[in-house]
Each structure stands twice: as C-alpha cells, then as structure tokens.
Structure 1
Amino acid sequence: MMSLPKSQRLVQKRSHNSTDDSQVESLSKKSIKIQSASPTTFKFVLIDLSTQSSNDRIFFICTSTNTDIIATANAIASVEAIFILKLDRQSVKPDFVKLIGVYEEQEQLLLAVKETLEIFQRIRFEEFLFEEDNTFLWLQLWRNEIMMRKSKIGKQEFIEVVQNYYRHNNKILALIETLDHSYTAADALSWCLRFPFPSRFINNALYSRNMEQLKFCRFLISDASRFLQQQSKHNSSKQFYRGMKLSSELVEKFVKNIGRLICTSWFLVCTKSRIMALAAASSPTCRPDLIPVLFKIDCDSTTPYVELSKNVSSPIIVFDVCTAFRILHVCQDQMVVVRMKIATDDGRKVAREYKEKHQSIPIETLLDQLVNPSKPCIPQQPPLNQPVRNKEHQASPPPTSKTMPVDASSSTYSDPESRASTYEECEEIDLALDEYQRIEPVSSRENVEIAKNTVDKVDKQSGKRWRDCVRR
C-alpha cells in the first residue's frame, strides 16, 4: 500500500438491486470518478475501470447492496476502498476486505470518505521508492542538487501562495497565520511534520514532483534538513524501528530488492521502542488484507537524525528528507521483518554518477526527463496565482495562468462539460456547477454529475446544491 500513485480516485456506481451478469460486467468496466482537484474539492467524471493503470487507486461508492456488484469491485486491484450508500432495506454481509462501511445518510458517507481519505493521504506520503524507479533517482538528484540551493523565495512568498491556495478553507488559513507569526528556522522540522498543514501541501508537491510548488516550499524543507544535519554526532551505533501495514505486492517488492537501495520521499519517522513499533504494525486497520511489517533500521554514529519529544517514554526519531537506505534482509514469518541500514552516501553516489553521465544537460531538464516518461495521470493542481473568485459567480471564460497554458478561445472550451472541467481545476465550484447544468441532453448530464465535497466543512447550501444536481 505504500507504493501509492500520484493520483487519488473515488468511484461511484449507480445501479438497481436486480442485476444480471451482463449488468455486473458493465459495472466492472464503467463508473464515475471523484477526482481530487485540490486538497479541498472533488469532481465526478466518467472513467473506464477496464483501462485503469494498476498504479491507480480508487474509492468505490455504490448505492446497491447486490453482492455480485460489490464482489466485482472488491476483486479489482485498483479499488482501494468500498463505501455503500444504502437506499434499500436489504442487509449487506461484511465479507469483503475492502468494504469500509454501509451508510444510510449522505453526510455519514461523506464523513467516512473524508476520514479514510486522510488516512490514505498519510500513507501515500510515506511512499517507498526503489532503486529501479526513476522517481528514486529524481528524489536523490533533487535533494542533492536543488533542495539546498540558495533561493530568493522565502517565508513571505510561501505564505502568499498558500493563503491563495487555501483561500476558501478557514481552518487551514488559521494555521497559515500561526506559521506566519511564529515560524523560526529552529522549528522548521516540527512544522514540516504537522498535519494537515503544511505537510499535506508540501507532500503533494513532492509526490507529484511539482517543481513550481516545490520552489515555494524549499525554504521550509531546507531549514528542516539543515537543522537535522547540524545535530551533534552520536556516541554509538543504534537500531530504530517502524511498524506499518503494507500490501502483499509491496512486501514482495522488498523481497525482490534485497541488497539494493530504497528511499522515502519525506522525513522518515521511527521510534526507539520495538514494542511500540510492533503495536503499530499489529494495530487494526480498515483493510484486514494488509500485512503487518516491522522495519529495523541500523544507524552508525555518523548517521544524521534528530530525537524529538524527549519528555515522553518513547521519543520519535526523524531521518532526513529523501534519505537512502539499503535493504539487508526480509524475513517473512508471522510478521514480516525488513532490516535496512542508512545508505546516504550511496544515494548521493547514484545521483552524482547520473549527473556526470549527462553533464551537458541542465539539472532541471534531467529531472523533467526522469519524471515524464512514467508520469501517471495526476489531477491538475490549481494555479498558484489564481485570483480570488468572483463573488457574483457570473459565467466567464475559464481562467488561465502560467501553470495552465490554455487558449480560452480555442475549441477546447466550446462545450459546457469542458468549461466545467476547467472551472473545477481552478476551484470555481459554483461556476462549474452552472456549466454542468447546461449540458444537454439530460441523459448525458446524468453521466457527468458533479459534486462539491469540502474536506474541512460541508455547509448546508453546498450540500443542498450537491443533492439537487445529482437528482437531476
């Protein structure tokens, strides 16, 4: 589960209770996706499950209690979680490992989706990249060649960007204000680990390899990394632990890569306590098919790490961003045990040799070449410099920016569905709803329903409009 994609998908199926085999087969191929347009909104668009990449992850939402339909969704590898909005009186047997819950109210369903999505995001941000992956090389190059460069972009520019990005989210805006008034370089690591802000914003940028956003986040990551590197050397070698739940596919990937390098895309948090790590690996989860895994990480006295929360019984240990490790051994017993050692110098060597091999190519071009060939379909990030939306919600040509270079007068935006999709990407939810409602004929409109799901609040007016749009 740790090797998650650079996109997140929620799927809704609409069906009747009586379904024959042909209907079930059809439902296994076509569905409606709620695509994350930003950390605060989702949109419904048609997708074809039969063509989805194995790297995609889908949240499947259906209004049927038909066991054949649920079993079909449960068997699809890319489906991560199943939610049922129960509209009939039939009971549902909880025999499907991906079934999160059955809900009678839309509000309950949205809350469950929100909570599961937050867990999904936290796990996704803890991704492991193997030496064979282009992304491993990308992260090592970015860390060693870009991250620590001096930049004129600092805290003030970052504050302006995130205030605009989260301009409709009062909860996050309050956290931004706190960071603005209290931030110091010594607190950078603590800030980087805070969820949802700013870790979710920075992790989204790192996860999608978004250089535009990363240039605004760099000061914070650099301050945190510099603070960690400046810690005094340790007296002896030590071993730390991390307990997690992983998919069988990812466990198998660890087995196949014994002796090779691996890295994380963020700061890796561990513990001194083996007991606490075992408890974390054994803790209940919404996915009973996931495998408990205990990581044992060997460190020598030169390994840079920092110990936080020294006043608690088991302080956390934090390793630097994008740290490279070497997989030493994988034991598959009642619990999978993965033993690794710090291999920072080996990670630097891989990046250095690749750069020397391509001396004539600028580092930015190398990074772009690495990420583009295998780049999954990622929802377009809202433009960082998007102006505050028109309070009158008057229809206007879809906004454009440097991050979305599109000619608004082109045929791309000649139909309501395309215009609505563009408004969605820029978080202009009300304008998008207006465009979707213009789609004709009505039968087509039913296949492109759109909803607003604000992660931190769902006000009554938005909820009413969501229901009205779906009913139509």
Structure 2
Amino acid sequence: NVELQSAASPGYRTDLISVLFKIDFDASAHFAEVLLENNSTIIVFDVATSFRVICVNRGPMSIIKLKTAVEDGKKVASQYKENNKGKTLQVLLDELSAPPKPPTPPKIEVRKEPNPVSNSQISEEELQAKAYLERGDIDRAIMAYRRIRPVTVRILKIIGQLSAEEKHDYDTAIECYELALKMQDETDDNLPDTLLRLGICYYRCGKFDLAINCHTRALSLYESARRRD
C-alpha cells in the first residue's frame, strides 16, 4: 500500500528507521477495519488489547512480530478501570492522550563554588571576575575567568558552573568539565565533584548514558574514599 511504499522509500525521513509490525490474532481479538479518505485501510484494535512481542528482525526495514494477548489486556483494562473510579470517559481519554511529562531532573547537591579559596590566594584577574559576578554581569565574569592564566581545574570548573547554572549553556560547561577531567588524576579528591557536575550537564542535554557513567564513576570514587577514611 501507499504507506508501506513511502516508509520503505530511501528518501523518506532518513533520520528514522522503517518498521513493519506483523500482528497475529484470532477471533477472540476485537478489532475493526477503518477506511480512510485516501482509500487506504487501517486496523483498529479494542483499547483493552495487549500484544506480546514474538520476535524482532532488524534490517533496512525492521519487522516486529506481535501476537494479541486478549486476557492480559482485559486484566490491565479492569485494573485501570478500578483505579480510576468516578472519572468520566472524556477525562480518561484526555489523560491517555496527554503528552508524557518530561523526566524530573535529579536533585543532586553540589558545592556552590568548586574548591573555593580566599581572596588573598587569587590573582587580580580573578578578583575582577568576582567583581563582575557580584554585580550580576555573568557574561563579563565568564570572559574574565577565561583570561586567567595559567588555566587550572578550579577555574575551568567555575566557568563550567557559570555556563551551566546561569547561562544554561551546557555544551560550554561540558567542554570545561571534560578539560578539567583531563587535568585530574584518580587520586584527586575533587575528581568525584567534577564527574558529578559533568554528569548533570550530560543529563540536561539528554545524554543519559554518559550521565550514568559519570555518576557511577563518581559514586565509586566516593565509596572508595569513605573506605579509606
């Protein structure tokens, strides 16, 4: 049909993978054939129908074979009905069709300033950067921090923190934290903090695997340090 030919066409949404669902079902499954305006037909199953995945064949067009699980679907529907007593059909439909809520960001506490030092220990350039911060001029503060030489882990983490928390510029923050990581070794007491901050930025960018890796590594280092203490 038209839909299948379009999905299989090389020029159709090259960023997507074509998938064909093959469904085996018998007379116990409730379904209907619906004729669309373009004369194509779709199969609509009862809302309580559940499906089991039998196999998945990956290729230029992946094929997913399914089988109806009518009794399982009835149990799910019955439980859903029991849990939503008193709600009208329209309310239930609105809830089911509502877009999913974005995941809640993890509540992870990090120190306000990475490795804080007293004013007597910092350069004139950094004092100028801190003065910009006190006036709320984040852009100039970041520029001032970038001019500081030599570049240290602490300065990189401050730039990363300002970029992430004040500018929501997670790409720049990730760049700073990754560079800071390269300058730290496994014995650095501040390495877990860097990993934690980097993991949060990865999370904000939707790079969940990288975020998990950072947090897992940070947790391992924290636990190792606790055992040594």
Q: Which has the larger Rg?
A: 2
Q: Highest relative contact order (Cα 8 Å, sep 6+), 1 or 2?
A: 1
More strand by share: 1
In proportion to residue count, which structure has more helix?
2
Normalising by structure 2, we get a TM-score of 0.31
TM-score (norm. length: structure 1):
0.17
